[in-house]
Structure 1
């Protein structure tokens, strides 16, 4: 084809052939299906103007048609006429940088007109029957392209066409210009002197301002990131745009804005109306799409484009950081691991998260930015506030090893910003990790000297803040009994409590420390005054006081009351010779009084070596009540004969020192309260130990918890009888005759019948 006339003749022949074969109606229906949105042609005209390099496009809607004009420098040539009157013959189909590469978009205008007229360059023509270019009188302004679309379709009256096109023009949003490179201004005039105006102004390399005079709101601002990637050997332009809020009345540079989340849309220069990304910002690329460009197809090339957009955003993050844009607004706009993104868009989240881990763009608590992998993260603000990064690194060293030490705490945030930060690969150091450190420090063996050097260097004020933080931690665990038990065990054993030790300061486990009940008290293992809340203190620090008390309670630090003072005296016995003195008797009397008042429980002292006892070789030592027994001169049990018998095979207990009997205070009764041995016992045992039980009676594989397997024994019975000691045998007789008769029966099996 070499001339306009030849092209026109070829198109006439094609239409004739299509009509003859009954194809014309089918072609019209096909185009209608491709563009169900009748006003879609507005975007097709903007596409033509953008590809022509236009800066300004005007729409003049009249009662009988629509006039469109743009100032694009690329005017129509014969090849363009061939393309616009054909199907799939676009001159731009191999150029990924142009919009109109699909070759059928212009046909959307035929939803409103039968004879569009075009004036551009040296050509003025109308299109008849969808395909036939027909010359008309020239009427274009020099250097401009003009379209005239008469509303001449019989099935769409002009009044209806005006209403629909007016609605479409009013619906042009500010984002229409978002990803266009050339068009900066769209001006529309509608019947009734109504005007629609969109204008884009670049404030700097990334920030653009879009004014919509017809929209009842302020100008919109966007941070636009653009770049090129190569897909299948072609260079493709891609972009992303984040909505901005102005932080000053006349913002002119990026630093005067903050990012805000938006309902993200996918653009193929213009919105792909049916495509959902799940993102909170807009993206653009020359995606392979449906013909109407309203959704993105499944295509490997599209996956590459999306990966490229993710990398584009990742590369832009350092600049956004330098412009002060990595705030909660941007973090809220970025995809987090709770966002339900369609599968193809997940790659954007992956690339962005990778960037926060590989580049110093992650916000640090207290200011600054670092790689996410070099930041500590804790959901407990109390821990973050109490421990500087230097302190956290030091104590973490007892339980963890780092290839590269953390440089700060990950900043906390609420809402979507916090969710995004929590999806980053920071180093977790929260409650569980802190308790693990304390477990290592308080574990078996000698505590590392460096721990005491570190904690001793801390001020009383700092240590008090740490205690308060741990008290907050305990309150957060209050509803979980298992967590509270773990917390009590760990904090009760960790050498955290600053106490007096002689004239020096020491740090010991909470279970070994005591709280003074009044100021200026000084004794070993008493918490120093600056770390204590006394009852007469004011109420100005109610919250701090509450959590400090909570910490001491969880750590097992007891008040320096009568029981605590007694415990200290009793615990010192191990360093003294075992002897019944007046002070010792006074301690035992004080213990009995506390038990009688139920200020303490007997079981607490049953295993404590607080009684003078006599071994069989006559030596005296401190023994617990559970490791002593009673006999003459306290009560004639005969147990001495049993424990000195050669037939007795276990480690024998010691006799409660006889000199206690010479005192007016009944020490034996106290020892008995604390579980000293004073009698023989009948205990239940499995029947398999009965010498009369035959192994063949076993119901192998059929025993269960419902069966009865019961026997009774008196421990060391043969040793007791072999002593022939009258007092011991009397004790044995009394036990046998006063025990429940059921203890005389051995039963097996229960719930079964003998075969």
Structure 2
């Protein structure tokens, strides 16, 4: 090794001379190096050194090896292959040019070597042919500059005589003394993370070792390699750029017009967050679920693609090569490698993904149900994920893809490719009119059965599947068809039987029924519904009636199980024929409470003698009132009397309807007996006990001595005495159940208007407390005032009945001293006065009695009223702010008439009180909001002694 084998002295002299003659060149070189170190080549140390090693291996024509070690704080990167040359050293010192002139995959010690400056200021390269060093300190000494540091990599130096030789087995080693701030072990850990990708991206590198972790690439044929036990599928393509495209490239790039691309998939798994490799990683993010290594032109930083005709040409070639990669994946996994939808991750991704999708649409790679792979553009995927189904219909429909591709996991990919999807509705339509043997249809049903178990929409569409019948017909849909082995079934008129060779459990799920007694009854539903019309037309329906009742008996049906059986026409005692649910068993107690014009009639006793009461009840014949029970009703459509009115009382639809039918058919004078009848049967008693339609209707329309139940009160409801009369002749529990009042409860405008009418009735004599409670209930009633007709007369505070025009609602206790009690309407709580006034359209007394204080008084804070203070302390009450104006006496003028009053509250909120215990107590209680405490306070103000409080 000579002292300067690569002529570094001449290189330094040339650079220094250029800096001396051109300070601008000095700044440009320094700026360029800093940009490369801090910008384009930051964090790319191993990438750049590995690509140089790959070039060296390519030049030598052998698979290269790279080894990274940490020796006494110095990172050493050794490689095999072509050693360092003078041309390479010149390229290193140029900052702008690469030594690559021979079609290698990457630059050989070009601008990328600036990546070492991220970890060192003193890089060295030792090779079998010599070595070279760079030094920030020596560069500063050689050309001191007051403005900035000179470029380190522009001034190469020969190695010292004491430099260790290249390690055995290697040809070149880059030695990088690490900055003190660099954590060597952590740096090695980061370098290890790049190893696998570099071995895949740089085919001339056969192995990379970081410390003791040596990773080798094992080639397994043209399209598969193994790295660290991980299997990669590959598809490579190469070619030469057209001359007109080459002409758009830079001078150096024109020396190599060849292009190559390599697609790679790790372990047959999609890549979820990839970037473009060119051949080292760029910052062009890709959404393509495979790794792409392509010889696209890149910007000097090697982080972005240099857009232009050359890049477009290579990316187009890469897109064209992509389908062949997918074809190497196991068939049903291929759709995982269709680019997913979403926003592109880069401009390159946008262009590449569009072209990849176009190539995938036109290439034959999609697995077929039968035969060779299909082009997605001509394929049809059945939504039903069933290989057996797809194979079965492949001879009926062309281009059917593999059945498993109908699974949801493939839907997104197939949609991106525009593959035609055949949902169950389309499939059923395509099969309509197909002529196949019954056994073929059974195979079809077997293939569809798993889908019907999990997909309600598909199952719904299957309801129109063709079904071969035993009589040779093929009917659209199995609903209404019967599956049975008994030949007797065929004797039942209107029954449709499935061909035995086509029978499959799916048909039952889609509406076909096994032919037991219940199923046979269902088959007769239309004739039952038509029976009334048939009777009027002269048709003999007795065979149908006998058949239905026999099947009902065999099935053990009970009343209400099949409500539609109520349409069966049966003979009445009169000789006419009526619906079964409009007939009553002979001698049933219900007959005694029905009105004479009731549409319900008595069943013919002769006919009834032929069947059990249970069988007759099962077809709807009544032995007592029928009960209707519906969960989550959707509307008032159950043919119940006044059902719409009841429904309108709900803000939300009721969650359950439990109703006794035909209550409106009871005779007016038969209600006590009817109610006892309802209470005697567990079925109707349950409806009586559950609040709902039945109790609502009975409370309003049942009659007890000519009045509905809610017009009466229970005998022990003494609070309602004088307003409601006590009911007689009914058990208390039954009376309560049918709506007889136990308390004052107002639920609607009718209740409000009824109570107002009772209060205004001079023949009623409610107690004073009952009147106050009634007025309070009216104020709190959950009705809008506009829904209530204001009364003409009102019950007053004096207990009298007066014209409403002469009344006002008492809204303050001080007003009692000047108002006439037979002109006041009062509530228990003054805060409810406004609500009552609005409800009955009356003014407030405070608005009707404008008063003026006409006496002198003195303002005295509460705290200065000693007796009040002592009383408040004993009563545990806080003193309110401020105080009253105390008069002796207090006089107010109302309508030019003077009144001496105990206390008064003016419209502006000023409190006036007479100088008496009663007045002070009332004013204090009102101010504190504890009005009921006024009497206690009066006693304590009079005698503020604990014994008074306790006694």
**1:648 aligned partner:** none
- Correspondence 1:685-696 to 2 at 5 A: none
| Structure 1: gaps of 5 or more residues | 190-194, 212-218, 245-257, 397-404, 442-450, 534-543, 572-577, 606-663, 665-755
Matched, 1:283 2:306: no
TM-aligned CA deviation for residue 95 of structure 1:
6.6
TM-aligned CA deviation for residue 109 of structure 1:
2.3
**1:127 aligned partner:** 134
TM-aligned CA deviation for residue 68 of structure 1:
3.4
Contact 1:512 1:557 in 2 (8 A): no
TM-aligned CA deviation for residue 10 of structure 1:
0.6
Q: Secondary structure at the match of 1:311?
A: helix
Once the two structures are superposed, residues 205-234 of structure 1 have per-residue CA deviations (whole angstroms, 9 ceiling, x without a partner) of 2222223xxxxxxx2221222222444232
**2:467 aligned partner:** 496
Measure, in 2, the Cα distance between the counterparts of 1:264 and 1:49: 24
Measure, in 2, the Cα distance between the counterparts of 1:261 and 1:117: 38
TM-aligned CA deviation for residue 85 of structure 1:
0.3
Once the two structures are superposed, residues 342-368 of structure 1 have per-residue CA deviations (whole angstroms, 9 ceiling, x without a partner) of 453255555555555544422234786
**1:463 aligned partner:** 441
Once the two structures are superposed, residues 283-328 of structure 1 have per-residue CA deviations (whole angstroms, 9 ceiling, x without a partner) of 112334453433445555434332221212224455x2xxxx3244
- Correspondence 1:156-175 to 2 at 5 A: 156-157=179-180, 160=182, 162-163=184-185, 165-175=187-197
Contact 1:310 1:351 in 2 (8 A): yes
Measure, in 1, the Cα distance between the counterparts of 2:454 and 2:568: 29
Distance 1:392 1:304, change over 3 A: same
Contact 1:119 1:146 in 2 (8 A): yes
**1:240 aligned partner:** 263
**1:80 aligned partner:** 88
**1:149 aligned partner:** 175
Distance 1:519 1:40, change over 3 A: same
- Correspondence 1:425-440 to 2 at 5 A: 425-437=418-430
One of 43, 68, 72 as aligned partner of 2:77: 68
Measure, in 1, the Cα distance between the counterparts of 2:449 and 2:169: 78
**2:487 aligned partner:** 520
Q: Secondary structure at the match of 1:364?
A: coil
Matched, 1:551 2:518: no
Distance 1:290 1:96, change over 3 A: same
TM-aligned CA deviation for residue 526 of structure 1:
3.6
Q: Secondary structure at the match of 2:404?
A: coil
**1:371 aligned partner:** 375
Measure, in 2, the Cα distance between the counterparts of 1:103 and 1:199: 26
TM-aligned CA deviation for residue 202 of structure 1:
1.2
One of 294, 300, 306 as aligned partner of 2:315: 306
Measure, in 1, the Cα distance between the counterparts of 2:295 and 2:174: 29
**2:99 aligned partner:** 91
Measure, in 2, the Cα distance between the counterparts of 1:309 and 1:558: 69
Distance 1:339 1:497, change over 3 A: farther
**1:40 aligned partner:** 44
Contact 1:361 1:370 in 2 (8 A): yes
Measure, in 2, the Cα distance between the counterparts of 1:61 and 1:566: 90
TM-aligned CA deviation for residue 162 of structure 1:
3.9
Distance 1:350 1:560, change over 3 A: same
TM-aligned CA deviation for residue 76 of structure 1:
0.8
Measure, in 2, the Cα distance between the counterparts of 1:603 and 1:48: 94
Matched, 1:406 2:399: yes
Matched, 1:206 2:223: yes
Measure, in 1, the Cα distance between the counterparts of 2:514 and 2:300: 70
Q: Secondary structure at the match of 1:411?
A: helix
Contact 1:517 1:561 in 2 (8 A): no
- Correspondence 1:732-743 to 2 at 5 A: none
Matched, 1:182 2:204: yes
Measure, in 1, the Cα distance between the counterparts of 2:377 and 2:513: 33
Measure, in 2, the Cα distance between the counterparts of 1:64 and 1:508: 86
| Structure 2: gaps of 5 or more residues | 1-5, 59-63, 140-151, 247-256, 531-535, 553-558, 570-606, 608-951
Distance 1:89 1:458, change over 3 A: same
Distance 1:586 1:419, change over 3 A: same
Contact 1:499 1:507 in 2 (8 A): no
Once the two structures are superposed, residues 134-190 of structure 1 have per-residue CA deviations (whole angstroms, 9 ceiling, x without a partner) of 3346775699643453538xxx33x7364564344444432221111212122344x
Contact 2:188 2:210 in 1 (8 A): no
**1:196 aligned partner:** 213
Q: Secondary structure at the match of 1:362?
A: coil
Matched, 1:10 2:19: no
Once the two structures are superposed, residues 638-676 of structure 1 have per-residue CA deviations (whole angstroms, 9 ceiling, x without a partner) of xxxxxxxxxxxxxxxxxxxxxxxxxx9xxxxxxxxxxxx
Distance 1:415 1:260, change over 3 A: farther
Q: Secondary structure at the match of 1:412?
A: helix
Once the two structures are superposed, residues 652-704 of structure 1 have per-residue CA deviations (whole angstroms, 9 ceiling, x without a partner) of xxxxxxxxxxxx9xxxxxxxxxxxxxxxxxxxxxxxxxxxxxxxxxxxxxxxx
Contact 1:237 1:286 in 2 (8 A): yes
**2:474 aligned partner:** 507
Q: Secondary structure at the match of 2:45?
A: helix
TM-aligned CA deviation for residue 31 of structure 1:
3.7
Matched, 1:108 2:115: yes
Distance 1:67 1:134, change over 3 A: same
Distance 1:28 1:588, change over 3 A: closer
Whose radius of gyration is greater, 1 or 2? 2
TM-aligned CA deviation for residue 268 of structure 1:
2.2
Matched, 1:270 2:241: no
TM-score if structure 2 supplies the norm length? 0.46
Q: Secondary structure at the match of 1:32?
A: helix
TM-aligned CA deviation for residue 436 of structure 1:
3.0
Distance 1:307 1:559, change over 3 A: farther
**2:659 aligned partner:** none
**2:336 aligned partner:** 332
Contact 1:47 1:99 in 2 (8 A): yes
TM-aligned CA deviation for residue 127 of structure 1:
3.4
**2:365 aligned partner:** 361
Once the two structures are superposed, residues 40-59 of structure 1 have per-residue CA deviations (whole angstroms, 9 ceiling, x without a partner) of 33322222222222612233
**1:448 aligned partner:** none
Measure, in 2, the Cα distance between the counterparts of 1:326 and 1:424: 19
**2:811 aligned partner:** none
Q: How many residues align?
A: 518
Q: What is the root-mean-square deviation of aligned Cα atoms in Å?
A: 5.0
Measure, in 1, the Cα distance between the counterparts of 2:380 and 2:429: 16
Measure, in 2, the Cα distance between the counterparts of 1:10 and 1:135: 16
Distance 1:562 1:102, change over 3 A: same
Distance 1:497 1:557, change over 3 A: farther
Measure, in 2, the Cα distance between the counterparts of 1:432 and 1:17: 84
**1:643 aligned partner:** none
Measure, in 2, the Cα distance between the counterparts of 1:512 and 1:72: 79
Contact 2:381 2:402 in 1 (8 A): yes
Contact 2:380 2:401 in 1 (8 A): yes
Measure, in 1, the Cα distance between the counterparts of 2:338 and 2:469: 46
Measure, in 1, the Cα distance between the counterparts of 2:546 and 2:406: 56
TM-aligned CA deviation for residue 601 of structure 1:
7.7
TM-aligned CA deviation for residue 243 of structure 1:
0.4
Q: Secondary structure at the match of 2:302?
A: coil
Contact 1:41 1:108 in 2 (8 A): yes
TM-aligned CA deviation for residue 376 of structure 1:
3.2
